[in-house]
């Protein structure tokens, strides 16, 4: 069974940086895309970025406009880990951040419903 575990959240001042990590286990990590989402109180879960599995590794990661240029996704297949480097954080980035992966090898999936396996979430709070 696939398990997904995020870590690295915390409290940071506006303009600061954080790096989130996510470990996925239970299947061949490198084959599948990995995505990051976030959910603020009272809001729907929001897609942020995705990186392909090895079959589509020639594609660049995809970023939503809200984080493009500030956030960077990367993966280390040897460590079964995907990272989200977050720079230039704003109070509006405050949310619970989730890592997720689909059941199959989709190409740059961007919808919540594309993803089958989710982590428990990690809180990111940005103070002004």
The whole-angstrom separation of Cα 50 and Cα 74 is: 9
CB 123 within 8 A of CB 96: yes
Q: What is the mean pLDDT of residues 15-32?
A: 97
Q: What is the 3-state secondary structure (H, E, C) of the chain?
A: CCEEEEECCEEEECCCCEEEEEEEECCCHHHCCEEEEEECCCCCCEEEEEECCHHHCCCCCEECCCCCCCEEEEEEHHHCEEEEEECCCCHHHCEEEEEEECCCCCCCCCCHHHCCEECCCEEEEEEC
Binning pLDDT at 50, 70 and 90, where does residue 100 land?
Answer: very high
- Tell me the pLDDT band of 30, cut-offs 50, 70 and 90: very high
Would you state the pLDDT for residue 52?
97
pLDDT band at residue 103 under the 50/70/90 scheme: very high
pLDDT, position 32: 98
pLDDT classification of 81: cutoffs 50, 70, 90: very high
């Amino acid at each position: 069974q696939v398990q997904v575990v995020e870590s690295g959240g915390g409290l940071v001042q506006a303009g600061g940086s954080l790096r989130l990590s996510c470990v996925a286990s239970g299947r061949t990590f490198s084959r599948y895309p990995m995505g990051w989402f976030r959910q603020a109180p009272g809001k729907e879960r929001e897609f942020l970025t995705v990186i392909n599995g090895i079959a589509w590794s020639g594609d660049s990661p995809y970023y939503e406009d809200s984080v493009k240029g500030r956030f960077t996704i990367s993966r280390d297949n040897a460590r079964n880990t995907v990272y989200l480097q977050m720079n230039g954080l704003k109070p509006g980035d405050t949310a619970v951040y989730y890592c997720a992966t689909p059941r199959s090898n989709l190409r740059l999936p961007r919808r919540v419903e594309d993803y089958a396996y989710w982590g428990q979430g990690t809180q990111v709070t940005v103070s002004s």
